[in-house]
Amino acid sequence: MIIVMKPMSADSEVDKIIDQVEAQGLKTHLSHGEQVTIIGVVGDKSKLDVPRIESSPFVEKVVAITESYKLSNRKFHPEPTSFAVGNTSIGSDNMTIMAGPCAVETEEQLLTIAAAVKASGATILRGGAYKPRTSPYSFQGLEEEGLKYMKTAADETGLATICEVTSAHAVESAVKYVSMLQIGARNMQNFELLKEVGKAGLPVLLKRGLAATIDEWLNAAEYIISSGNPNVALCERGIRTFETATRNTLDLSAVCVLKEKSHLPVIVDPSHATGVRSLVEPLAKAGIACGADGLMIEVHNDPAHALSDGPQSLNFEQFDAVMQNIRPYISLSKRSMQ
């Protein structure tokens, strides 16, 4: 950490800051410049009361040099993480394909979709039972009933399953029925919920918040891991920008940055990112090409009648075509779908 003092700060003020830092057992290096004086801080800065230092009227700014996340940081955990999810796994040389409807609607619908996505090569069935919707008047999900259908679908097909959870109560239910929990974009910084899924014993897919920086995202993962759960995958699903041609702006650079900064697997969701069916295939290919460990794709037996997010859902034929067309890219990535 570096503390930049305001120009003209008296030596006595600089000394006060140095005392404050050294009182915590850290070391300092002083550098007097023509324009500014800089205090380099060496040691475990987690002991340090940064806001207290920043708020001194003589401090210009405090520059962090090291990241605040540790357990999700590649520097301290160089090997990529992989973990089992039901009968399949995420990470390593596996290319994980999560597919299914935005919202679980009926048991019959879910079983039909599960069979279809399995036939086309998906390894994890996604389906929402708790739907966070912008308006309270939109369909909010089947809740525990939907989870039960997920369990039935898993039993019938052998697919692993993933379901979003939106409250401690939902976590409690979901662990009984599915293989993996999902934290949605709107809850990425719902820290109480992160702690809950950190204790729930199932792997977690953590979606990026609407306007979350990569740094905040890895700190959110840190909440889960530090609560006891190391099996976390990250899901890039687009960020909010000024551009309105797509629902969000899929940030594939983030996939590459995450691969450098973290050891956690990264999934790309082109369906939610764009909200446009025809963009799913080219961006699925792009996601694989830049290093993603998997994809999450919305599939519906009848997109024109979906209760949630129809416009971006693929029907079975479309999904099967996407799966055929991405195979050569998966081969190039030296991964396989297992």
Restricting to residues 167-226, which ones interact with a copy of itself according to CB under 8 A?
167-170, 186-187, 189-193, 209-216, 219, 222-223, 226
- Tell me how far apart the alpha carbons of residues 260 and 264 are, in angstroms, rounded to a whole number: 10
The strand pairing partners of 39, in sequence order, are: 3, 30
Question: Among residues 13, 38, 83, 152, which is the contact residue for a copy of itself, using CB under 8 A?
Answer: 38
Measured between its terminal Cα atoms, the distance across the chain in Å is 44
Of 86 and 130, nearer to a copy of itself (C-beta) is: 130
**For a copy of itself, which is the closer residue by CB, 148 or 261?**
261
Tokens of 121: 């090569």
Question: Which residues does 204 contact at the CB level (< 8 Å), separation at least 6?
Answer: 180, 181, 182, 183, 197, 198, 224, 229, 231, 232, 233
Stretch near a copy of itself under the rule CB under 8 A, chosen from 1-9, 81-89, 155-163, 171-179: 1-9
Residue 10 sits in the site that holds a copy of itself (CB under 8 A): no
Q: Which of residues 230-259 bind a copy of itself (CB under 8 A)?
A: 238-246, 249-257, 259
Q: Which of these segments, 50-58, 104-112, 116-124, 142-150, binds a copy of itself (CB under 8 A)?
A: 50-58
- Binding status of residue 79 toward a copy of itself by CB under 8 A: no
Token output for 335: 């991964």
The yes or no reply on residue 23 touching a copy of itself (CB under 8 A) is no
Selected from 77, 80, 144, 311, the binder of a copy of itself by CB under 8 A is 311
Q: Which stretch binds a copy of itself (CB under 8 A): 28-36, 80-88, 104-112, 113-121?
A: 28-36
> Quick check: 12 binds a copy of itself (CB under 8 A)?
no
Identify which of 319, 228, 308, 223 has the alpha carbon closest to the alpha carbon of residue 270. 319
Q: Does 307 bind a copy of itself (CB under 8 A)?
A: yes
Count residues binding a copy of itself (CB under 8 A).
110
For 180-212, letters b (16+ CB in 10 Å) and e give bbbbbbebbbbeebbbbbbebebbbbbbbbeeb
Distance in Å, CB of 59 to a copy of itself, minimum: 9
Q: What count of Cα atoms within 13 Å lies in the side-chain half-sphere of residue 159?
A: 32
Element (H, E) at 4: strand 2-5
CA-to-CA distance for 225 and 71, rounded, in angstroms? 7
Q: Is 277 in the site for a copy of itself (CB under 8 A)?
A: yes
Contacts to a copy of itself from residues 82-121, by CB under 8 A: none
Amino acid code (one letter) for 149: Y
Nearer to a copy of itself, 79 or 137 (CB): 137
Radius of gyration of the chain (CA): 23
Q: Is 286 in the site for a copy of itself (CB under 8 A)?
A: yes
Indicate which single residue of 54, 155, 156, 317 sits in contact with a copy of itself (rule: CB under 8 A): 54
Pick 133 or 176: Cβ nearer a copy of itself? 133
Dihedral sign from CA coordinates of 150, 151, 152, 157? positive
304 touching a copy of itself, by CB under 8 A: yes
